[in-house]
């Protein structure tokens, strides 16, 4: 069996989530099992301009930077696909409740297929929650969702929402 373990605490020493995940691993790991270990405190892949542009560039035209990035990305995907069990340890980090006062936030959210505020949309509620948590009570969403279904309509809707915005 292959076990994939991801730790993400910013603390290497004294981390409860790391210690508990290790206990869990020791409990389920059998002799002969392989453990693939990733520490997000050491390495983290973001969707960046490099990723985005790289996805649209033919492999033969990719720069060394693109190639290196995709090599790591492919390796991570392969490791995940080959795993039978995945352990993720993740502390909740928000803190600083009520830090920001008297502000209004606009969220401009776009999507390919996911409908905004549907049960698959975790982003919008999370962003609203976190902004509220920091003390920003007025949060307005402008959305161009489900662009893959009808791009023109999504953009028209979003532009109409922008047109109707009032900053007061």
Ligand X SMILES: Cc1cc2nc3c(=O)[nH]c(=O)nc-3n(C[C@H](O)[C@H](O)[C@H](O)COP(=O)(O)O)c2cc1C
Residues 78-97 that bind ligand X (CB under 6 A): 91-95
How far, CA to CA in Å, does 8 sit from each of 17, 42, 91, 118, 150?
A: 8, 9, 7, 28, 38
Nearest to ligand X of 2, 22 (CB atom): 22
Given 5, 15, 146, 154, the residue binding ligand X (CB under 6 A):
15
Contact 142, 111 (CB under 8 A): no
Tokens at 29, concatenated? 């790991």
- Should residue 165 be labelled a site residue for ligand X when binding is judged by CB under 6 A? no
Closer residue to ligand X, CB minimum distance, 43 or 168: 43
Name the minimum Å distance from CB 95 to ligand X: 4
Total residues at interface with ligand X (CB under 6 A) = 11
């Amino acid at each position: 069996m292959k076990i994939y373990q991801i730790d993400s605490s910013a603390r290497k020493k004294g981390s409860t989530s790391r210690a508990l995940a290790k206990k869990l691993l020791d409990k389920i790991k059998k002799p002969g099992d392989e453990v693939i270990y990733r520490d997000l405190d050491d390495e983290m892949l973001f969707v960046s301009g490099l990723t985005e542009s790289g996805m649209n560039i033919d492999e033969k035209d990719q720069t060394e930077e693109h190639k290196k990035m995709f090599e790591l990305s492919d390796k991570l995907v392969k490791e995940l696909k080959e795993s039978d069990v995945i352990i993720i340890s993740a502390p909740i980090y928000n803190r600083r409740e009520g830090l920001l006062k008297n502000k209004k936030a606009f969220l401009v959210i776009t999507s390919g297929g996911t409908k905004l505020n549907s049960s698959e949309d975790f982003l919008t509620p999370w962003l609203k929650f976190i902004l509220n948590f920091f003390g920003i009570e007025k949060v307005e969403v402008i959305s161009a969702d489900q662009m893959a279904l009808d791009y023109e309509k999504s953009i028209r809707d979003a532009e109409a929402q922008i047109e109707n915005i009032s900053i007061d």
